[in-house]
Structure formats: structure tokens, C-alpha cells
Amino acid sequence: MSQSSKPSPDKAKLLDFEAEKEEWNVYRLEDGTIVKVKAALANARLRVNEKGEPIPNPDGTPQYEFQFETKVRILPENRIITVVKPPEKKPQPPGMYG
């Protein structure tokens, strides 16, 4: 395969950002439980060519890539939850090397 036929790796410039406003979407279930959901930006990137210039979309706007985190809070009507502790680890017998 010749050098020119290899696909070039995608390049992107990492963009720094700060949240100006993040709000929760709030839902009440029929049992009274409140569910709060928020999508938060985790990463923003601008697609660039080999020269570091933005790669445009067909309409001329820059190509961006985004990654989001979804945050969920569930609040029972009585606000009481049961916390389950993980089981204690049982000591393992020594293996072949110890």
C-alpha cells in the first residue's frame, strides 16, 4: 500500500470551556418520586486539517465534536434511601507465589 493511500488520522483542537448555565430537568413520577436529569458538557473539540485550520461543514460552519455526561438524581418522596454496603472481601489463600 502506498503512503498516499493511507487514510490520514483525524485531528481536532481541544477547546476549553466554562459553564455559563446548567439547569436540571425535573420530573415527578406517579409515586411522588422526583427525578432530576442534567446533561453537562465534558469535552469540546474543533475538527482541524493537517495545517491546524478548521474543517468546514458543507454549509461553511466549523465542525465540532462534543462529549456529554448525564447526571441523574432520584429523590424519593420521603427522601429516605437504603444504602447497601458492598460485601466484605474474604481473605484469599496464598497463591502460587505468595
**Buried residues in 73-84 as b, exposed as e (16+ CB within 10 A):** eeeeeeeeeeee
Task: For residue 80, tell me if it sits in a domain.
Answer: no
Number of Cβ within a 10 Å radius of residue 43: 13
Q: Which residue has the higher pLDDT, 45 or 85?
A: 45
Task: For residue 53, tell me if it sits in a domain.
Answer: yes
Number of structural domains found in the chain:
1
Task: For residue 54, tell me if it sits in a domain.
Answer: yes
Q: Of 4-8, 14-18, 41-45, 49-53, where does mean pLDDT reach its minimum?
A: 4-8
Q: How confident is the model at residue 2 (pLDDT cuts 50, 70, 90)?
A: very low
Residue 66, classed as helix, strand or coil, is strand
Task: For residue 45, tell me if it sits in a domain.
Answer: yes
Q: Of 13-17, 18-22, 49-53, 74-78, where does mean pLDDT reach its minimum?
A: 74-78
Range of the domain at 37: 10-75
Task: For residue 92, tell me if it sits in a domain.
Answer: no
Task: For residue 96, tell me if it sits in a domain.
Answer: no
Task: For residue 17, tell me if it sits in a domain.
Answer: yes
